[in-house]
Structure 1
Amino acid sequence: MYVLGAGILAHGIAAKGPEGVVFANLDLRVEPGSLTVVTGPSGSGRTSLLLVLCGRLRIITGELEVDGFPLPRKARKVRKLIRPARLRPGCELEQRHRVREAITERRLISGTNKASLELGLELVGLDVDRSMLIGELPAEEQLLLAVALAAAPAPAGIVVDDVDAGLTQSGRARVWAALREVTRIGMTVIASSTDRPPGDVNVVRLPVGRFYEPTAEIELAEKAGR
């Protein structure tokens, strides 16, 4: 399996949640096939940035292109290019499903063949009893399963939220190693974490600049669909 990864370029972007602006004045560059880690404390906008980069949350100011497609205008195209492995809350594997059920469901929904799903599991080094409930798996294996299922259809990139949440030190090391393996086949990986992993990695630190309340200019930009 080899994938042509997506590159991302952003200048001065901002996003807004229910309680106001979650990040602002953000510049970033993501090279195709690289591992980029978004770091910052809880509430700093890490999940919101991942949502923006996979076309699931609109920016209110700034310029953003994913693989040459401008957002938010080409959000539908970007959603096909960048797939979420996990986004919290709302995009996680169902704990009450068995592993084999999750695999079958992903095959039916995405149209991915069985061989590609097996390659995805092999890519992240996951070999588990498929009759087990997902909730019975160790936390790192639940996350690795989510990554394998997202990577199996060979998208240009995946996003992975809260990589270090609830993991032991050895569990974190195992997941980061698996994500690096995903990039070695050319796929772009953007992950969020409270802290950066060891080694050479592109890091986006939040918060950046100064948070501010929405202004009239931002409100107008949002209504205009920028």
Structure 2
Amino acid sequence: MYVDGVSIVGRGIAAKGPEGVVFANLDLEVSSGSLAVVAGPGGTGRTSLLLALSGRLPLITGYLDVSGHVLPAQAKAVRQLVRPARLRPGYELEEQHRVREAIRERHLISGASLRDIDAALSLVGLAPDRSALVGELHAADQLLLAIALTVASFPAGILVDDVDVGLPMASRAQVWAALHEVTRTGMTVLASATDAPSGDVEVIHLPAREPEELPTDVFDLLEEDTQ
């Protein structure tokens, strides 16, 4: 499994939601095949920035290039390159599905082969009970399952929101280690967390601000991702 990951360059970018600007005057660079972490307290615009970098939230100003595709004009192409594994709210695994049902559904919708899904599960170090409900899995295993199901279709990049939320330190380390393994395929990982992990990570810091609210059209774009 090898993927040509996305690279990203942003200069002076800004976006807004119903309550106003969620981030502004932001410069960033993300290397192909890197683990890039949007870090900051809850409500700083972490999710909005992930959405913007993947063509799912329009900018109000600034320049943003994702592997030669300039946003917002080429947002549709960018959405095909960068796929969400988890985005909150709006894009998470259905807890009432059994693991085998989640696997089968992703196989049918994304076209990922069952063999590739098995390989992706192995890549992130997960061997779940396939008869268990997704909601019965440990929170870290739920997240790893979502990551594996997204990786299996070989996108150029993946989005993983709120990596550290609700996880004890040992589980956080497990998930970060799995995301590092994903980058070894060449895939770019765009994640968000309160604090970035140590090691080989590209960190995008966001300042504290009021809690963000996402535009309603964002949820329409997330719905498109499941079709």
Asked if these proteins are the same fold (TM beyond 0.5), I'd say: yes
Residue 12 (structure 2) pairs with residue 9 (structure 1) = no
How does the TM-score come out when normalised to structure 1? 0.91
Residues 121 and 148 of structure 2 are in contact (CA less than 8 Å); yes or no, is this contact kept in structure 1? yes
Given the alignment of the two structures, is residue 124 of structure 1 paired with residue 121 of structure 2, yes or no? no
Distance in 2 (CA, whole Å) between partners of 1:207 and 1:76 is 29
In 2, the alpha carbon distance for the partners of 1:18 and 1:129 equals 42
Q: What CA deviation, in whole Å up to 9, does each residue of 1:114-156 have, x standing for no partner?
A: 1111111111010010000000000000000000011100000
SS in 2 for 1:112: coil
Cα drift, residue 109 of structure 1: 0.6
Deviation at 1:54, TM superposition (A): 1.1
The letter for the 1-side match of 2:201 is V
Question: TM-score with structure 2 length normalisation?
Answer: 0.91
Inter-partner Cα distance in structure 1 for 2:110 and 2:166: 29
Partner residue of 2:111?
111
Query: Which letter does structure 1 place at the counterpart of 2:40?
Result: G
Name the amino acid aligned to 1:172: R
Question: Aligned partners of 1:84, 1:45: CA distance in 2, in Å?
Answer: 17
Distance in 1 (alpha carbons) for counterparts of 2:62 and 2:100: 43
Query: 1:39-83 CA distances to partner (integer Å, 9 max, x unpaired)?
Result: 011110000000011111101100001111011111110011000
Instruction: Give the SS at the match of 1:58.
Output: coil
Task: In structure 1, list runs of 5 or more residues that go unmatched.
Answer: 212-226
The answer for unaligned runs of 5 or more in structure 2 is: 211-227
Q: Offset at 1:207? A: 2.0
The total of aligned residue pairs comes to: 210
In 2, the alpha carbon distance for the partners of 1:48 and 1:166 equals 20
Q: 2:72: which partner in 1?
A: 72
Aligned to 1:44: 44
Once residues 80 and 89 of structure 1 are traced to their aligned partners in structure 2, the CA distance between those partners, rounded to angstroms, is 20
- Report the equivalent of 2:223: none
What is the deviation of 1:32?
0.3
Q: Give 1:196 shift.
A: 1.2
Aligned to 2:217: none
Counterpart mapping for 1:36-185 below 5 A: 36-185=36-185
RMSD of equivalent CA atoms: 1.2
Runs of 4+ in 1 over 2 A off after TM superposition: none
**Equivalents in 2 of 1:131, 1:156: separation in Å?**
30
C-alpha contact (below 8 Å) 2:94/2:134 kept by paired residues: yes
Larger radius of gyration: 1
What does the per-residue CA deviation read over 1:97-123, in whole Å, with 9 as the maximum and x for residues that have no partner? 111111111111111111111111111
User: Secondary structure at the residue paired with 2:95?
Assistant: coil
Q: Aligned partners of 2:142, 2:157: CA distance in 1, in Å?
A: 20
Whether contact under 8 Å (2:64, 2:70) holds in the other structure is yes
State percent identity of aligned pairs.
65
AA partner of residue 26 (structure 2): L
Give the residue type in structure 2 aligned to 1:151: V
Measured in 1, the distance between the counterparts of 2:56 and 2:73 equals 12
In 1, Cα distance between equivalents of 2:196 and 2:78: 26
Secondary structure of 2:38's aligned partner: strand
